[in-house]
Amino acid sequence: MLTKLNKISSEVHFTNKWWDYMIDEYTYPTSEIGEYHYVRTTGSTMVIPRVGDKFIMTRQYRYLNSDVSLEFPGGGIKKDLSPEQNALEELEEESGYKTDNLIKLGIFNPFNGVTDEICNIFLADGLIKTFAKPEPSEEFEIVELTFNEINIKIERGELWDGMSLAAWSLYCFSNYNPIREI
């Protein structure tokens, strides 16, 4: 059986509106004291918007990679919102679509050695076109791709965002993918 590490203390070293930088002290299985540095979040959501045989993605500049990234709409869960409410807000904010048909596909942790974040993945069908409402720090290009075009972009390394790749995997293996082959 794997040994559970016992937390001794937990301290916030930096905070912003998206996450807290934490340092915990804990006991190793050998009884020595260790430190664990990590990012604590409220979680996140990602939406796979589907219109007929097309999927809506966004292209945006990512500062840390100094590159443009192709992604599904998503973001950190805002205070006082459920994952479903947050997903609907992110969908409209980033893609300019809204829906009443949101289906939860699953969850994952994007970087379990560095963050406690749980990302909730949703499929959005029955989309209604509105207007994108990006935050002041965001700029998006909307991209419509078929199932095969997304897979080709993954094969070519043109879709490299880890959260979008994980979301796509959950969709591909879900019962909501009409061309699922297992």
CB neighbours of 10 closer than 8 A, spacing ≥ 6?
22, 23, 24, 25
For 21-38, the pLDDT digits (tens) are 999 999 988 889 999 999
pLDDT at position 51 is 96
End-to-end CA distance of the chain: 32
Q: Which uninterrupted H or E stretch holds 149?
A: helix 147-155
**What CATH class does 44-172 carry?**
alpha beta
| pTM of the complete model | 0.92
- CA distances 103 to 17, 53, 61, 81, 127, Å, are 27, 17, 28, 17, 13
Question: 180: which 2 tokens?
Answer: 């699922």
pLDDT at position 132 is 82
Do 49 and 95 form a contact (C-beta atoms < 8 A)?
Answer: yes
Domain boundaries, the chain: 6-41, 44-172
Residue 14 has pLDDT above 70, yes or no: yes
Of residues 82 and 17, more confidence is placed in 82
Cβ neighbours, 10 Å, residue 99? 21
For 151-182, the pLDDT digits (tens) are 999 999 999 999 999 999 999 999 888 776 55
Average pLDDT, the chain: 94
